[in-house]
Structure 1
Amino acid sequence: MSDRTPAQALFWRLFVINGLVFAAGTLVLAVSPATVSSPILLTEVPVLTVGLALILAANALLLRTSLAPLDALATLMQRVDLLRTGDRMADSGNSDLTHLIHTFNAMLDRLEAERSASSAHALAAQEGERQRIARELHDEIGQSLTVVLLGLKRAVDRAPDDLRPELHAAQETVRASLDEVRQVARRLRPGVLEDLGLHSAMSSLSSDFSQVSGISVTREVDADLPALGADAELVLYRIAQESLTNVARHAHATRVELSLTADPGAVTLRIRDNGRGCVRQDGAGIRGMRERALLIHARLTIDSPPGGGTEVRLVIPNTVERSR
């Protein structure tokens, strides 16, 4: 590869193109019968005008062809998104701009790798914080509420009849608060995923969602899913959890379809609702889902198909590393 910089290469290309055009124009004038008098005659003006027009047209055509990759490069710069990987510019064979194209593609590779690494650290820290909070909710607040519940039970047993209804009401309030704390702890730390596996975790997630939101969930999970790594299973669970949360908050749906199927080349998670189909592509939740998908080199698509509703599809290729 030449040691010239892209600016130097572009300068010399323009210089050579203009030189060739002017040399060709000079050669045509030299071998043609056209002559120019001094002063210029009116009959010679059209000849000069046509010659100048041809030179300018040839120069414009050559320059446009030579600089066309720059337009494609500018278009790619405008649409590039590090959360949607693989968008690269193909080498057009223009030797002077090949270095610029390769440098830009290498920059995108480096930025995507750095973004993936930083996202992995951030999400790992987030999962660690979730586990810590879930432990504290379960071990500290949960146990404290349990002690309060037992104390209320003893108080009810010894209380006079006229106070028992109020103590029973307080008892039910504490019991409901304890259930809510346990539900929050389960959402923060999917213990069922670690203890019973992905199939049971998806079933539990769907059941909890239906119970809390009142939205019916039709579930289809293949019984013979291939063995996925712990990271891939956690990404699947979190994306399903975030998708169902979005349905409950924004979709105004009455029915959700959740499927997790194994194809010959991939494992596919699909969640579709029958709501109003409003998709916030720039929402923090969706961006988090895209970042999680990138961690395991999966492809995430979110759209509103005809007939309303929203469909979330996560495709995990079988090339994803499976490790425990």
Structure 2
Amino acid sequence: MNSTAPQQSVLSEAQLMSIVSSAQEAIITIDQSQRIVLFNPAAERIFGCPAASAIGESLSRFIPERFRAAHIEHVARFGSTLAGKRPMGPQRLLFGLRADGAEFPIEASISSAHDGAGKLLTVVLRDATAFVAAQEALLRSHEALRNLSANLQQVREEEQMRIARELHDDLGQQLTALKMDVSFIEQALVAYPDAAELRGRAHAMRRLIDATVASVRRIAADLRPTLLDDLGLVSAIDWLLNDFARRYGIAVESTIEVDDDHFSNCAATALFRIVQEALTNVARHAQASAITLQLYRRGERCVLRIQDNGRGRDTSAEPGQRSFGLLGIRERAHGLGGEVTIESAAGQGFAIEAVFPEASLVGGEASR
């Protein structure tokens, strides 16, 4: 039995070395003075350095100079604890240094063990170049999509402005001229006692034209209220709130402590659309009887807060649901460097708050 123990020990050591040699991750073992005592083939490939040249060298040889002091301290601190294994770095992403001087990102973990000579530390690391490149590509793609979204919103605003003007000016003027002609015919038929039926039809036509003119004005205002361009953001929000209260019978209370001179055309349009979308969400989903709107300064920031007393929403219970309205609000806010937060719970109403750097709301043309 005693004769088989050394054989098992040798076998176990051979198996361990085979695993270390065939591992895809780089494995580096250092002693208490942070000198390399093991440098597997994967480490040779990753760092471009043969094991014969690495063994006996300080681990700092494979760390960029600007990180060496912090890394040496980190490894030493770990070596003095009883921790068995943990990731290296607060975000598990560090940087290595190849033999040719090139830096590259790595993911690494460190573990400790004891042998007859003392404590050994083993670092297992993986080249994260592809992962970082994929992350950067994803961020670029995300930013490109946001830029595309912002551009599409701008194109949409310009198209809505054009259509609203054509509805208000061209179609509105034509309907007004038609109404005048019908009114003339209606008055002319007064001289003909036998034309009572025709007068009645002319009168009905005039009323239909009046209703059509009102519809055209409403549609044009929904597309792009002339108040926003003529009188500024504050007047446009007041009109929007009054129209909302009239349409849906929901009480509205507003506190606006800013003036139009603080908003560029772009900012005024974005804030108006955020308010418009928030009110649409209230009308569709909230089942509310009252809302409050606040627009004010907080230091060097501008705050827009809209809150209702409706049924609210348990956001934790609906992880799969997405609101494109809220997504649009977030994107518009992001375009101005703002952040959106939502406060809601089932039965406790819904509040949306957008906070913007005041500097991002000014600049360019004023809103009027």
Q: Equivalences for 1:21-60 in 2 at 5 Å?
A: none
SS in 1 for 2:26: helix
Q: Report if the CA contact (8 A) 2:161-2:223 is conserved.
A: yes
2:168 paired with 1:168: no
Q: Identify the match of residue 207 of structure 1 among 242, 246, 251.
A: 242
Q: Equivalences for 1:206-285 in 2 at 5 Å?
A: 206-224=241-259, 227-278=262-313, 282-285=322-325
Write the distance in 1 (CA, Å) between the matches of 2:274 and 2:135. Answer: 30
Mean Cα deviation higher: 249-258 or 162-171: 162-171
CA 1:201/1:104 → structure 2, altered by over 3 Å: closer, same or farther? same
Per-residue CA shift, 1:207-226, capped at 9, x if unaligned? 12222222221111114577
Q: Report if the CA contact (8 A) 1:268-1:313 is conserved.
A: yes
TM-score relative to the length of structure 1: 0.67
2:339 paired with 1:299: yes
TM-score relative to the length of structure 2: 0.60
The match for 1:192 is: 227
Q: Report if the CA contact (8 A) 2:167-2:217 is conserved.
A: yes
Write the distance in 2 (CA, Å) between the matches of 1:119 and 1:136. Answer: 26
Q: What displacement does 1:122 show?
A: 1.0
CA 1:254/1:156 → structure 2, altered by over 3 Å: closer, same or farther? farther
The match for 1:37 is: none
Q: Equivalences for 1:145-160 in 2 at 5 Å?
A: 145-159=175-189, 160=195
Per-residue CA shift, 1:206-251, capped at 9, x if unaligned? 1122222222211111145771322221110001011112222222
Structure number having the greater helix percentage: 1
Q: What displacement does 1:98 show?
A: 8.5
Q: Report if the CA contact (8 A) 1:205-1:241 is conserved.
A: yes
Greater Rg by CA: 2
Per-residue CA shift, 1:249-290, capped at 9, x if unaligned? 222222121111111131111111222224896233222222
The match for 1:119 is: 149
Q: Equivalences for 1:130-141 in 2 at 5 Å?
A: 130-141=160-171
Q: What is the identity, as a one-letter code, of the residue corresponding to 1:180?
A: S
The match for 1:183 is: 218
The match for 2:50 is: none
Q: What displacement does 1:15 show?
A: 6.5
Mean Cα deviation higher: 147-156 or 233-242: 147-156
**Percent of aligned positions that are identical:** 33
Mean Cα deviation higher: 235-244 or 145-154: 145-154
Per-residue CA shift, 1:168-194, capped at 9, x if unaligned? 333222212211211211221232122
Q: Report if the CA contact (8 A) 1:217-1:256 is conserved.
A: yes
Write the distance in 2 (CA, Å) between the matches of 1:67 and 1:269. Answer: 39
2:355 paired with 1:315: yes
The match for 1:54 is: none
The structure showing larger relative contact order (alpha-carbon pairs under 8 Å, at least 6 residues apart) is: 1
Gapped runs of 5+ residues in structure 1?
Answer: 1-9, 23-60, 73-90
Q: Report if the CA contact (8 A) 1:225-1:261 is conserved.
A: no
Q: What displacement does 1:108 show?
A: 5.0
Q: What is the identity, as a one-letter code, of the residue corresponding to 1:304?
A: S
Write the distance in 1 (CA, Å) between the matches of 2:108 and 2:214. Answer: 63
Q: Report if the CA contact (8 A) 2:233-2:260 is conserved.
A: no
Q: What is the identity, as a one-letter code, of the residue corresponding to 1:314?
A: A
Q: What displacement does 1:68 show?
A: 10
Q: What is the identity, as a one-letter code, of the residue corresponding to 1:13?
A: A
Structure 1 stretches of 4+ moved >6 Å: 91-95
Write the distance in 2 (CA, Å) between the matches of 1:178 and 1:224. Answer: 32
Q: What is the identity, as a one-letter code, of the residue corresponding to 2:26?
A: R
Q: What is the identity, as a one-letter code, of the residue corresponding to 1:252?
A: Q
Q: What displacement does 1:148 show?
A: 2.4
Q: How many equivalent pairs are there?
A: 257
Per-residue CA shift, 1:139-161, capped at 9, x if unaligned? 33222322222222112212344
Q: Report if the CA contact (8 A) 2:175-2:213 is conserved.
A: yes
CA 1:267/1:306 → structure 2, altered by over 3 Å: closer, same or farther? farther
Write the distance in 1 (CA, Å) between the matches of 2:304 and 2:90. Answer: 41
Q: What is the identity, as a one-letter code, of the residue corresponding to 1:113?
A: E
Q: Report if the CA contact (8 A) 1:69-1:92 is conserved.
A: no
